[in-house]
Amino acid sequence: MQRPQDLEALQSGIIEPLMLRLYRMLDFAKTLISRKLTARRLRRNSPLPLDMQAQIIDVLPVMDRLSEEMPTIQLMGFKVAHRGANQLRWLFREICLNADYYFVSHNPRPKILDCGSNFGISILFFKRLYPQSKINAFEPDPKTFDTLKYNIHTNGLSDVDCHQVALGNFDGTVDFYQNEDENKSDLRMSVIHKRMPTRKKISVPSRKLSSFFDGNIDLLKLDVEGYPYAEGRLPESLHFAESDVIL
Give ∠ CA 138-200-67 in degrees, rounded to 5.
70
Name the CA radius of gyration of the chain, rounded: 23
Within 10 A of 28 (CB to CB), how many other CB atoms are there? 11
Q: Are 189 and 198 in contact (CB under 8 A)?
A: no
Interval 103-114 mean pLDDT: 93
Interval 145-162 mean pLDDT: 96
For residue range 9-66, list pLDDT tens digits in order.
545 566 667 666 766 666 656 666 777 888 888 889 999 999 999 999 999 988 888 8
Which of the two residues, 76 and 237, has the higher pLDDT score?
76
The amino acid that residue 244 corresponds to is D
Residues 6 or more apart from 236 whose CB is under 8 A from it? Answer: none
